[in-house]
A and B are shown apart, each in its own frame.
Chain A
Amino acid sequence: MADVAAPMPAAVEDRHAEAIAAHRRRRRLGPMFWIPAAWLVVLILAAAAAPWLGLAPPDEIDWMAIQAPPGVENHILGTDVLGRDILSRVLHGARVSLTVGFAAPAIGVGIGLALGLAAGYFRGWVDEVVGILIDAWLAIPGLAVLLLFSAVFGGSLSMVCLSLGLLFIPAAARITRAQTLSYANREFVLAARAMGASDARILLREVLPNIVWPLMAFVMIDIPIAIVVEGALSFLGLSVKAPTPSWGGMIAEGREHIEDSSWISLIPTAVMFVTVLSFNLAGDVIRRRFADTREAAL
């Protein structure tokens, strides 16, 4: 280990070149990332642009094509029992699923992050209060709360996001607290305090940058969970109200015709399956890479 700084001797240059090459190698994410990522990007763009794609509106009834199978004129993926275009409904339903998929973890992780940071950094009574809050929260049966919330406030997308988001708080708070604890006593935090940094600055500038990535890995797991749970809720009719299409709702509407018009249920099921699988696959790759870079940094 040469400690000569400027200019760097050749040996050190070499070492750097090697490290950079190794870094690049790790950078390559491979098809297990890019294929799912491509699906997700296409889905997100199509869902965002759904009203402007020239499709029939999701609630427009085509009397000429009731329960039309996929491939008929004007209806690439066919129509449902009311003659509504399935492709249009899948894309509009994707708006609901994706909104919940991103918003619910964001709410849960946002609140959990604040609680976990405070508990892990200040310790003492703050830690105890947060611990009691989380334990109490976990003691409430989550599914029952979800069903209750949905039954009482059901029909509004923001309420679905909020009630689902609340379920992610305890785990996010615990992960954040554990990570914060492990960083709060590091020497660089002590060094920041020795410089006269305020608690807020230490939390935001010293601790937070170190726990963002483990939390992102956690968010990557939560997104597909939120999509699946929203699907289940809308299947039960407890998510957004009827005319607004949602994947779970579409599956439910088609279940009585599964024998003669199976596509009505199968298409939204397949889209949801592929979407959830894509989030999981891409998330795995990101998590593994994150673990690699962490090892390399240590």
Chain B
Amino acid sequence: MNALTETRAHRPATEGFLEIRGLTVEHPLRGGRKVHAVTDLDLSIAKGETLGLVGESGCGKSSAARAILQLPRPTRGSVRLDGEELTALSGGALRRARRRFQMIFQDPIASLNPRRTVAEIVSAPLEIAGEGDARARRETVEEMLELVGLDPRHAMDRRPHEFSGGQCQRISIARALVLRPDLLVCDEPVSALDVSIQAQILNLLADLKARFGLTMLFISHDLAVVKNVSDRVAVMHLGRLCEEAGAEALYSDPAHPYTRVLLSAAPRPDPDAIPKPLPMAEGEPPSPIDPPSGCRFRTRCPRAQALCAAEVPPVVPRGAGHGVACHFPLD
């Protein structure tokens, strides 16, 4: 158990609804090398809470999401949902457990089968779970479509290409929630959509979350989006956790140099309020095939020192529910 565990003392002693411990995802390459997509990630989400997971593209946040959903199973680590170890399930047991955790994908159009009607798409989870007969399923689908703001009479028998991106994402949400899952993982659910539509989809997710008491893992590269929907936010860089805090605390008091960089890059309504941008070394993040030793941010970090190359910074508590993995955090 690492230091962050102590920072969670303010929460009930029971473990989180979703507990992720030491999650590691590696993709082997030729010649014995491997891509270190996610390394030793610890996360915990309480029931009914939304955790935002942010980072640049390629930082491993999507790999982490898929590993949590066992799509496919992570290389190492533990994923417990409501006390059940998901990595220990296989075959039919895993398929049956899937109704409790669902996912919304980034590309709303690609995530819907072009050759099936909306009614078929949304009722598929019910069929797979063996819920009700055809008529009962159709009624459930109609209700669900109404809940996501689509007119069932208009939508049921059409195919996805007849809908806009935002409408497709509504269909996708209907499909994900039709079995009333406990956990919803949203992987960049609005980044493929027009800005004007993003807010509608985010509001819809917030409504449905309240209605169904969902626990959510919300993944995005966009800090502004994450701040609005999340109770807590975790920042990832090159497969490792950098900082985790309540949404307000993270934005007002970032302690990790990388968090500060991300915040200064995010557009703000009031340009004068930008804290002095932290200079970051130019260039792409290092390759996850051969990540830097010690702190993986050190090649771009303005505060890096010898210790950063020598030792992986542990996650250290900084305040209530605020942890940071940095040898020399900001004040």
Which of the segments A41-49, A138-146, A149-157, A187-195 contacts the partner chain? A187-195
Q: Cβ of B164: which chain A residues have Cβ within 8 Å of it?
A: 1-3
Contact of A297 with B161 in the complex, beta carbons under 8 Å: yes
Q: Are A5 and B167 in contact (CB under 8 A)?
A: yes
**What are the residues of chain A within 8 A of B125 when measuring CB–CB?**
195-196
The answer to the question of A6 belonging to the interface, with a C-beta cut-off of 8 Å to chain B, is: yes
Q: Find out whether the CB atom of A210 lies under 8 angstroms from the CB atom of B115.
A: yes
Point out the residue from A1, A3, A190, A191 that lies within 8 Å of B175, measured CB to CB: A191
> Which residues 148-169 in B have Cβ within 8 Å of A in the complex?
149-151, 154-155, 159, 161-162, 164-167
**Residues of chain B with a CB closer than 8 A to A298's CB:** 161
Could you tell me the distance between the alpha carbons of A245 and B14 in the complex, rounded to whole angstroms? Answer: 84
Q: Give the residue of A1, A6, A8, A210 whose beta carbon is less than 8 angstroms from that of B113.
A: A210
Q: Is A7 an interface residue when CB atoms closer than 8 A count as contact?
A: yes
Counting contact residues on chain B (CB < 8 A from A), the size range is 35 or more
| Cβ proximity bits A166-200 to B, threshold 8 Å, 1 near / 0 not | 00000000000000000000111011111111100
A194 to B151, CA, bound (A): 26
Contact bitstring A277-298, B, C-beta under 8 A = 1, else 0: 0000000000000000000111
Contact yes or no, A297 B114, CB < 8 A: yes
Q: Is the CB of B110 within 8 A of A1?
A: no
Residues of A within 8 A of B191 (CB): none
- Given the interface contacts A187-B107, A190-B71, A196-B95, does A5 sit within 8 Å of B124 by beta carbon? no
Residue of A nearest to B169 (CB): A3
Query: Contacting B111 at CB < 8 Å: which of A5, A8, A191, A205?
Result: A191
State how many residues of chain A have any CB contact under 8 Å with chain B.
29
Contact with B99, one of A16, A187, A196, A206 (Cβ below 8 angstroms): A196
Query: Least Cβ distance of B65 to chain A in Å?
Result: 10
Contact A209 B110 (CB under 8 A): no
Chain A residues whose C-beta falls within 8 Å of the C-beta of B27 in the assembled complex: none
For B170, what are the chain A residues with a Cβ–Cβ distance below 8 Å?
A: 3, 5
B194 CB within 8 Å of chain A: yes
What residues of A have a CB within 8 angstroms of the CB of B180 in the complex? none
Assess A6 versus B116: contact at CB under 8 Å? Given A190-B105, A194-B103: no
User: B128 on the interface (CB 8 Å rule)?
Assistant: yes
CB distance from A213 to the nearest CB of B (A): 9
A67-93 CB contacts (< 8 Å) to partner B: none
A241 close to chain B: CB less than 8 A? no
- Identify which of residues 1-39 in chain A touch chain B, using a CB-to-CB cut-off of 8 Å: 1-3, 5-8, 16, 19
CB distance from B187 to the nearest CB of A (A): 10
B259 contacts which chain A residues (CB < 8 A)? none
B200 on the interface (CB 8 Å rule)?
Answer: yes
Fill in one digit per residue for A200-244: 1 if any B CB lies within 8 Å of its CB, else 0.
010001100110000000000000000000000000000000000
How many whole Å from A236's CB to the nearest CB in chain B? Answer: 43
* Chain B residues whose CB sits within 8 angstroms of the CB of A205 once the complex forms: 116, 124
Q: How far is A50 from B107 in the complex, measured between Cα atoms in Å?
A: 56
In the complex, what residues of A have CB within 8 A of residue B94's CB? 196
Query: Contacts A7-B151, A195-B98, A195-B124: A187 and B111 contacting too (C-beta < 8 A)?
Result: yes
Residues of A within 8 A of B107 (CB): 187
Nearest Cβ on chain A to B108's Cβ, whole angstroms: 9
| Residue from A16, A196, A198, A210 in contact with B114 in the complex, judged by beta carbons closer than 8 Å | A210
Alpha-carbon distance between A114 and B225 when the two chains are bound, in angstroms: 45
Residues of B within 8 A of A198 (CB): 95, 128
With A188-B110, A191-B175, A198-B95 as given contacts, are A6 and B161 in contact (CB-CB < 8 Å)? no
In the bound complex, CA of A151 to CA of B161 (Å): 53
A188 touches B200 (CB 8 A): no
Chain B contacts for A1, CB-based, 8 A:
164-166, 194, 197
Chain A residues within an 8 Å CB radius of B179:
195
Report the separation of the CA atoms of residues A1 and B194 in the bound assembly, to the nearest whole angstrom.
Answer: 9
Q: Is B69 an interface residue (CB 8 A)?
A: yes
Neighbouring A residues of B102 by C-beta, 8 Å: 194-195
The reply to whether A6 and B154 contact each other, CB–CB distance below 8 Å, is yes
B197 contacts A188, C-beta separation under 8 Å: no
- Please judge, given known A-B contacts A5-B167, A188-B110, A201-B128, whether A196 and B71 are in contact too, CB under 8 Å: no
- Bound-complex Cα distance A206 to B121 (A): 10
User: Distance (Å) between the CB of A292 and the closest chain B CB?
Assistant: 13
List the B residue with the shortest CB-CB distance to A8: B154
From A296, which residue of chain B is reached at the shortest CB distance? B161
Task: List residues of chain A with CB within 8 A of the CB of B69.
Answer: 194
Given known contacts A191-B105, A297-B161, is B154 in contact with A196 (CB within 8 Å)? no
Asked if B110 and A186 make an inter-chain contact with CB atoms under 8 angstroms apart, the answer reads yes
The answer to whether A209 and B115 touch across the interface, beta carbons within 8 angstroms, is: yes
A-B contacts, 19 listed (Cβ < 8 Å)? A1-B164, A1-B194, A5-B149, A6-B154, A187-B107, A187-B111, A188-B114, A190-B71, A191-B105, A192-B124, A195-B124, A195-B175, A196-B99, A197-B124, A198-B95, A201-B128, A209-B115, A210-B114, A298-B161
The 9 A-B pairs of least Cβ separation, nearest first, read: A6-B151, A3-B166, A196-B98, A196-B95, A187-B111, A209-B115, A1-B164, A5-B150, A187-B110
Q: Which residues of A approach B to under 8 Å, CB–CB?
A: 1-3, 5-8, 16, 19, 186-188, 190-198, 201, 205-206, 209-210, 296-298
